[in-house]
């Protein structure tokens, strides 16, 4: 009985680590694409120049080598970051600036419509 319960805890912890790793991989990929767009454009420019320079030395696969290296480096960086955060025990739901991941709305933002003073039920206190 004790062996069965300990195996369940190990498998549950393993599934939680895998889930955390996958969520971190998704989150870091989205952040790289959205926030890191200038960095991606810089990598594209450097990769283009590098492939042009390597074209004279090795004309058969310079573009493939450079593109594969850049994509591989990005994938490796995202996977390494996700693995490090998962092994440290940081869960994405614990991070405060990831409220879009949990589906929470921004509580500090209140929508004010242009017609609200005319149509909303606002009681105006008379000034004395």
* CA distance linking residue 9 with residue 4, whole number of Å: 9
* CA distance linking residue 46 with residue 82, whole number of Å: 26
Long-range contacts of 30-33 (CB under 8 A, 24+ apart): 32/74, 32/78
- Is 36 among the domain residues? yes
Domain count for the chain, please give it: 1
* CA distance linking residue 107 with residue 113, whole number of Å: 17
Residue 28 domain boundaries: 2-104
| 78 has pLDDT over 80 | yes
The predicted-structure confidence for 104-126, as pLDDT tens digits, reads as follows: 665 565 556 666 666 666 565 66
pLDDT of residue 48: 92
**Using CB atoms within 10 A of its CB, is residue 26 exposed (0-12), middle (13-18) or buried (19+)?**
middle
The CA–CA distances, whole Å, from 126 to 17, 51, 84, 121 equal 60, 73, 60, 15
- Is 118 among the domain residues? no
- Is 40 among the domain residues? yes
| 127 has pLDDT over 70 | no
């Amino acid at each position: 009985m004790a062996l069965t319960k300990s195996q369940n805890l190990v498998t549950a912890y393993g599934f939680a680590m895998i889930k955390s790793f996958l969520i971190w991989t998704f989150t870091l990929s989205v952040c790289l694409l959205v926030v890191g767009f200038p960095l991606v454009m810089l990598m594209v420019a450097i990769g283009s120049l590098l492939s042009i320079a390597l074209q004279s030395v090795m004309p058969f696969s310079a573009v493939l080598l450079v593109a594969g290296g850049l994509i591989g480096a990005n994938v490796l960086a995202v996977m390494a970051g996700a693995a490090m955060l998962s092994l440290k025990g940081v869960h994405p739901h614990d991070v405060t600036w990831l409220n879009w991941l949990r589906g929470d709305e921004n509580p500090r933002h209140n929508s004010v419509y242009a017609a609200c003073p005319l149509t909303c039920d606002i009681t105006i206190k008379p000034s004395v």
